[in-house]
Structure 1
Amino acid sequence: MTTALEKKMRRPSWMTPFGEEGLGDVFFDRLWPEWRRDMGEEWTPTVDLFEKEGNYHLKAELPGFNKEDISVSLSEGTVTLTGKKESSHEEKTEEYHIKEMSSGSFTRSFELPGEVDEEKIDANYKDGVLTVIMPKKNGSKAKRIEVH
């Protein structure tokens, strides 16, 4: 069974006819893996957002980030994650044969389907995974609207 939250986050299949990556992306990524970094595209972490035991749970994979460089905010029912990862290379004199380690920033925002108790939100970062637990306010349930 698909929940309202899953439907809200799902991308229509017509937008991605070749899967998550377009055909051009596959071609360019294989020939020049650094082309996206050179274009300044933000990195996008993978995220799971689900409901369990009266809470919304948000998990984001953020490998290589320092806890101090990750921010979580909530405004008007929307939770926003931001982060920045600096390059670990101090000098630019290396002659790379392969360079896949990335640096940069990201921002992701998600509209929650119900109200949360802002005073009880808990965020934890461990082993490259950010976990945010947001207790739902009493009586906060998604409302099903009948279509006539």
Structure 2
Amino acid sequence: MTITRFAPFRAPLSDVALLQHRLNSIFNEFPRVSGETESLSTGNFVPPVDVYEDAHKVVLKLEVPGIKQEDLDIRLENQTLTVKGERKFEKEEKEENFHRIERSYGSFVRSFTVPQTVDTDSIAASYDAGVLTISLNKKAEAKPKQVKISVGSTPEPKQVEASAA
């Protein structure tokens, strides 16, 4: 005889997976705010972003596949960088012919607070293979400076004998 542990809330795997998927989709629709430096608007499509910094610039990389370059709007106003766009649903196929739709569609807005160390006059953006890269150069005074210090021996101070006047 096999002994099995009683688990009253255990449901068949397919039911649990379906419930988890539904709960995840509900919570993914809510906007997430991480700190005060970034805000997300409501919408079905929120592109992920990587932000990194080196000694000379701050770089943002947004994944925006399926969006044409001319459909992206990048603006900087009062130290806030805003990226807007929209991924449109292809109407070539009728919706009832789809078996599954997992990609997100809709408009999005991502906003980032730009640090004071960034030179707002020298911002560049490029778009390649569905990745939007925005480079924000730092101001010259914010870049680290290296000063060459020569190391050498210094002559010992000479002792002067006092003479009577």
- Note if contact 1:80-1:110 (Cα within 8 Å) is conserved in structure 2: yes
Alignment of 1:132-143 (within 5 A): 132-140=134-142
Change beyond 3 A, Cα 1:28–1:112: farther
Q: In structure 2, what is the equivalent of residue 120 of structure 1?
A: 122
Q: Number of aligned pairs?
A: 114
Cα distance in 2, alignment partners of residues 33 and 90 from structure 1: 29
- 49, 56, 73: which is aligned to 1:54? 56
* Matched residue type, 2:57: N
Q: 2:105 aligns with which of 103, 106, 118?
A: 103
Q: 1:129 aligns with which of 124, 127, 131?
A: 131
SS in structure 2 of the partner of residue 119 of structure 1:
strand
Whether the 8 Å CA contact 2:44–2:104 is kept in 1: the answer is no
Gaps (5+ residues) in structure 2? 1-16, 30-41, 144-165
Measure the CA separation in 2 of the matches of 1:29 and 1:127: 32
- Seen in structure 2, the aligned counterparts of structure 1 residues 102 and 138 have a Cα distance that, compared at 3 Å, is same
| 2:67 and 2:86 in contact (8 A); partners too | yes
Larger Rg: 2
The equivalent of 1:43 in structure 2 is 45
CA distance in 1, matches of 2:131, 2:110: 15
Structure 1 match to 2:34: none
Deviations 1:50-71 (A, max 9, x none): 2124111111111111111111
Q: After TM superposition, give the deviation of residue 93 of structure 1 in Å.
A: 5.8
Following superposition, the deviation at residue 119 of structure 1 comes to: 2.7
Secondary structure, aligned partner of 2:127: strand
Which SS does the other structure have where 2:121 is aligned?
helix
TM-score (norm 2): 0.58
* C-alpha contact (below 8 Å) 2:44/2:105 kept by paired residues: no
